[in-house]
Amino acid sequence: MRVDAVVVGSGAGGGVAAAVLAQAGKQVLVLERGRDVTYEEIGRDHLRNHRIARHPHRAGTDLEGNPRVFVDVAGRERLVRAHEPGFHGNPTLVGGGTRLYGAQAWRFLPADFAMASTYGVPAGSSLADWPIGYDDLAPFYERAEWEIGVCGDHVASSRHWPRAKPYPMPPLPEGLQARALRQGAAALGWDVLPVPLLINSVPYAGRDGCTRCGHCVGFACPADAKNGSHNTVLRRALATGRARLLPEAVAERVECDPAGRVTGVRWVDRSGARHVVEAEVVICAAGAIETARLLQNSPTRREPYGLGNNHDQVGRHLQGHTYAWALGEMPEPVHDGLGPGVSLATLDFAHQNDGVVGGAMLADEFTVLPIAFWARNLPPDLPRWGLDNKRYMRENYRRVMRVGGPVQEIPSPDARARLDRHVRDRWGIPVARLSGTTHPETLRTAAHLAGRARAWLHASGARRTWTEPAHLALHAGQHQSGTCRMGDDERASVVDRWGRVHGHDNLYVMDASVHVTNGALNPVLTIMALAFRAAERLCADW
């Protein structure tokens, strides 16, 4: 088979890349290692989903034959399966994480692109500025908001970002959580804004509005009102007739000619048979761990440690988000059962916190499933079982509220995704070996933000609040990023400012791997915007 472009991965970045290329007249093949699962197959199983992986989950990496090796903080290594701690999985299905995500649609803040020059570089970290800034990305954020579909409050958001155009949809109506938090923020003099969401608050682009079902993050949408790759850009790519999507197709290596020029992708079908698709351009969009694995598993004589890896950068700076949070017991019920739950945020502590580097957006929580509430939301002094535990659940399930947010991680070059030398997956491909942690400086920021979260809950009426300190750990499951960072210096980065792998004119990365830092906010809209920008440029230069 021969196509113009192969896109590896059908998630947030791959879907956008496929659409832009197919709409520009290119023949595109999308290889997706996950299955094309139905809403019913994903289901509403409270014990098997990407939010609560108490057992092997129903949408994602197959349990058997796709392990990883995880090296913990103490240096102990173990083999981990997809739902086990340490695997650091992203949902693996057509649409990737966008099928199941909470769909928070944040733009990164202008300061998020300039962490090193704003704060200095903590010793031992690889904190760096992006080679591009907010203004470079703003038109593509706007395009993502309109082409994929975001609801939000343009006026409130305009206090934090220069914005040329409103959101295509108004925010969802606020519920009890937001009402309480608005009062608390007013008492504290804090600015708040509705959380923008890639969810139809009203019918949009031919699909219905949100039914407020409460099974949002971790699940597929029963109303098809959650906007992801699968129901927007991928669908548009396929509608051109020039794109083809192959589920259960595992990219094994990027193929090169003897001179080291990329010529296509070798992939494995569900029966284990190998195929090679030849292409003018190869776009890696498999997520920060799998993209790094694919490049590393594609050595040539010119690049013996994998494509783009002559300076030992591929797979380093692996990061995600450390979460800072607090829980508060409110005097009145704040759980109104109306999904998605997350509704009101403050950005007052995303930057410019005295004495710490960076910060985080803080917001309320998605509707908490009862088993998750039992596992994570109970006060630390409450017995874990017995009558007191049952009484607390009964009296306070609707009163306990979490405020928290993604702390911008200070990257470490020692947080890595490598190929394991011994373990191979079911198709004989070396598996990812994950090691390292975020930089310790991240924990100081998280502690500061947890204090802000408690203050907000107290000001909102909480009778008592509690939190737990964040631990030094790797956070590279959801929000995984950083392994092919963008930069002008090829000795310290993997791709250029257009997502093109240094030293190659036809090999691109269009996923969160290219993030130099991962923002004080959820990253998916940035992945989409970067993919629009890179793919548009690729087509213009073709």
Partner 1 sequence: MAADLTASQSATLRAVVDTVVPADDDPGGVEAGVLRYLAGQFRGDLAGLLAYYGAGLDAIDAEAREVYGAGFALLRPGRREALLKAVEAGDTHTPWPFDAATFVSTVVGHVMEGFYGDPGNGGNRDAVSWRMIRFEVRD
Nearer to partner 1, 35 or 398 (CB): 398
Query: In whole angstroms, how close is the CB of 386 to partner 1 at the nearest point?
Result: 6
Nearer to partner 1, 394 or 422 (CB): 394
CA distances from 88 to 81, 287, 321 (A): 10, 11, 12
Nearer to partner 1, 44 or 311 (CB): 44
Query: In whole angstroms, how close is the CB of 403 to partner 1 at the nearest point?
Result: 20
Instruction: Single out the residue of 57, 78, 58 nearest to residue 67, CA to CA.
Output: 78
Query: In whole angstroms, how close is the CB of 227 to partner 1 at the nearest point?
Result: 19
Compute the CA torsion angle 61, 62, 64, 70 (nearest 10 deg). Answer: 10
Nearer to partner 1, 369 or 531 (CB): 369
| DSSP character string of 368-383 | PPHHHHHHHSS-TTS-
Question: From the CB of residue 2, how many other CB atoms can be counted at a distance below 10 Å?
Answer: 12
**CA–CA distance, 382 with 402 (Å, rounded to integer):** 17
**CA–CA distance, 32 with 9 (Å, rounded to integer):** 5
CB-based contact 459:185 (threshold 8 Å): yes
Query: In whole angstroms, how close is the CB of 394 to partner 1 at the nearest point?
Result: 5
Q: Crossing angle, helix 12-23 and helix 524-541, to 10 degrees?
A: 30
Token output for 531: 């993919």
Nearer to partner 1, 257 or 395 (CB): 395
Query: In whole angstroms, how close is the CB of 395 to partner 1 at the nearest point?
Result: 9
Query: In whole angstroms, how close is the CB of 219 to partner 1 at the nearest point?
Result: 11
Nearer to partner 1, 43 or 170 (CB): 43
**CA–CA distance, 17 with 6 (Å, rounded to integer):** 10
Nearer to partner 1, 213 or 276 (CB): 213
Mode of pairing for the β-strands spanning 464-466 and 68-71: unpaired
Q: Which helix (H) or strand (E) holds 442?
A: helix 441-459
Query: In whole angstroms, how close is the CB of 47 to partner 1 at the nearest point?
Result: 5
Mode of pairing for the β-strands spanning 274-284 and 507-509: parallel
Contact set with partner 1 (CB under 8 A)? 43-47, 54-56, 211-215, 222, 335, 337, 339, 369-371, 373-375, 384-387, 390-391, 393-394, 397-398
Query: In whole angstroms, how close is the CB of 183 to partner 1 at the nearest point?
Result: 23
Nearer to partner 1, 47 or 186 (CB): 47
